[in-house]
């Protein structure tokens, strides 16, 4: 099964590019940009990656982002992630970035987006990995800040497929951002939002109703509302589930308690993703392996998780069919 997982073509739909900042790269960039960080070695950084909840993670996540200053830094960060995609056979990725984390530090919006975009273009040309960019609003900030970020994004609309909503879910419900999401949709952006990770099932319902989301990021607490589960099944609304992240942030105590396979068997369009892999101990293959080791999942179900991600992606039907062929071809060859 491990050989199968390694070779299975994968699609990632829930990845924060700032969350792929490995300790080694954090140190290299801190040195290059002469930024002081409160650690003496990459090992010390890793030792600090013990989180009690989402907020304790976010505190160190924003601290780490301070080393990202120049376009080249954002390029290097994204390129390092794409090399991991190549290693894990991720054939398409839709990455989040948090412009407010950087613009609040005086980094220009275009510095961030151009660095990421150039790396993704190189990834398409040299690694054959297709990609999309989703801009997230930080929900612990106010809606005015989100509107300003949307305004800054408009000149770069050709590079950004959609907008999302991340950061602390507690105390920041979807309704807080309804107007800015409506404005984003008026400009042609697709929408997604984190909901039902730390927050209740009601946040999932409201993200769909008020923010018009095409897919829900996390969403594992949907099980608290059977009617919501039925609606998600009926509408094929995708959930971008992040197994290792959910354990690291104590959404579930152990992987054996995770509900991803149960949701899959109920007919939900669930997908596997790595969220903030540098902080949560694993990229795509690691997440698939963690699920397979802890839960009774079949080869066919692992394949379905990949097919679900293709179905849920923001690419054309023709591109989806090409990716489906890659998955089917691998599975046929593996089992022959």
pLDDT tens, position by position, 191-223? 999 999 999 999 999 999 999 999 999 999 999
Q: Which helix (H) or strand (E) holds 218?
A: strand 215-218
Q: Which helix (H) or strand (E) holds 272?
A: strand 270-272
pLDDT of residue 54: 79
pLDDT of residue 281: 86
pLDDT of residue 270: 98
Cα dihedral sign for 303, 307, 309, 315? positive
Specify the CATH number for the domain of residue 132: 3.20.20.140
* Domain span at 303: 2-335
Q: Which of 7-11, 21-25, 45-49, 259-263 has the lowest mean pLDDT?
A: 45-49
Instruction: Give the global pTM.
Output: 0.96
pLDDT of residue 45: 84
Q: Are the beta carbons of 22 and 281 closer than 8 angstroms?
A: no
- Whether the per-residue pLDDT at 40 is higher than 90: the answer is no
Give long-range contacts, CB 8 A cutoff, 24+ apart: 256-260: 256/294, 256/295, 258/220, 258/291, 258/294, 258/295, 259/220, 259/223, 260/220, 260/291, 260/295
- Whether the per-residue pLDDT at 110 is higher than 90: the answer is yes
Question: How many separate domains does the chain show?
Answer: 1
Q: By C-alpha distance, which of 214, 208, 147, 144 is closest to 173?
A: 208
pLDDT of residue 37: 86
Confidence class for position 103, pLDDT limits 50, 70, 90 = very high
State the Cα–Cα distance between residues 331 and 63, nearest whole angstrom: 42
Percentage of the chain lying above the pLDDT 70 cut: 100
Q: By C-alpha distance, which of 200, 242, 198, 235 is closest to 217?
A: 242
- Whether the per-residue pLDDT at 30 is higher than 90: the answer is yes
Cα dihedral sign for 25, 28, 33, 39? positive
What digits encode the pLDDT tens for the residues 218-256?
Answer: 999 999 999 999 999 999 999 999 999 999 999 999 999
Q: Which of 43, 197, 301, 317 is catalytic?
A: 197
Q: Residue 144 gets which letter from DSSP?
A: H
State the Cα–Cα distance between residues 87 and 51, nearest whole angstrom: 27
Annotated catalytic residue 257: no
Confidence class for position 46, pLDDT limits 50, 70, 90 = confident
Average pLDDT of span 87-108: 97
- Whether the per-residue pLDDT at 169 is higher than 90: the answer is yes
What rounded mean pLDDT belongs to the chain? 96
State the Cα–Cα distance between residues 299 and 20, nearest whole angstrom: 28
């Amino acid at each position: 099964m491990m050989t199968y997982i390694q070779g299975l073509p994968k699609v990632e739909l829930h990845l924060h590019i700032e969350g792929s900042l490995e300790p080694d790269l954090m140190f290299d960039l801190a040195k290059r940009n002469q930024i002081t960080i409160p650690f003496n070695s990459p090992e010390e950084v890793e030792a600090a990656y013990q989180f009690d909840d989402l907020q304790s993670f976010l505190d160190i996540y924003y601290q780490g982002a301070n080393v990202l200053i120049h376009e080249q830094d954002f390029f290097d960060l994204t390129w390092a992630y794409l090399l991991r995609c190549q290693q894990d056979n991720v054939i398409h990725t839709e990455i989040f970035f948090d412009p407010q984390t950087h613009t609040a530090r005086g980094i220009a919006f275009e510095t961030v987006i151009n660095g990421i975009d150039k790396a993704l273009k190189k990834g398409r040309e040299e690694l054959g990995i297709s990609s999309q960019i989703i801009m997230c609003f930080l929900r612990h900030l106010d809606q005015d800040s989100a509107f300003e970020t949307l305004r800054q994004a408009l000149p770069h609309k050709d590079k950004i497929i959609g907008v999302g909503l991340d950061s602390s879910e507690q105390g920041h419900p979807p309704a807080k951002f309804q107007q800015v999401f409506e404005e984003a949709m008026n400009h042609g952006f697709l929408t997604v939002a984190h909901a039902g990770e730390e927050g209740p099932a009601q946040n999932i319902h409201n993200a769909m109703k008020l923010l018009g989301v095409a897919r829900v990021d996390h969403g594992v607490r949907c099980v608290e509302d059977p009617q919501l589960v039925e609606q998600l099944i009926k509408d094929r609304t995708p959930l971008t589930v992040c197994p290792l992240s959910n354990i690291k942030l104590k959404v579930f105590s152990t992987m054996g308690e995770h509900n991803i396979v149960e949701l899959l068997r109920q007919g939900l369009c669930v997908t596997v993703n790595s969220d903030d892999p540098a902080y949560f101990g694993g990229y795509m293959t690691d997440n698939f392996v963690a699920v397979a080791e802890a839960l009774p999942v079949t080869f066919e179900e692992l394949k379905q998780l990949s097919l679900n991600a293709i179905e849920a992606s923001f690419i054309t039907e023709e591109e989806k069919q090409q990716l489906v062929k890659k998955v089917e071809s691998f599975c046929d060859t593996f089992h022959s």
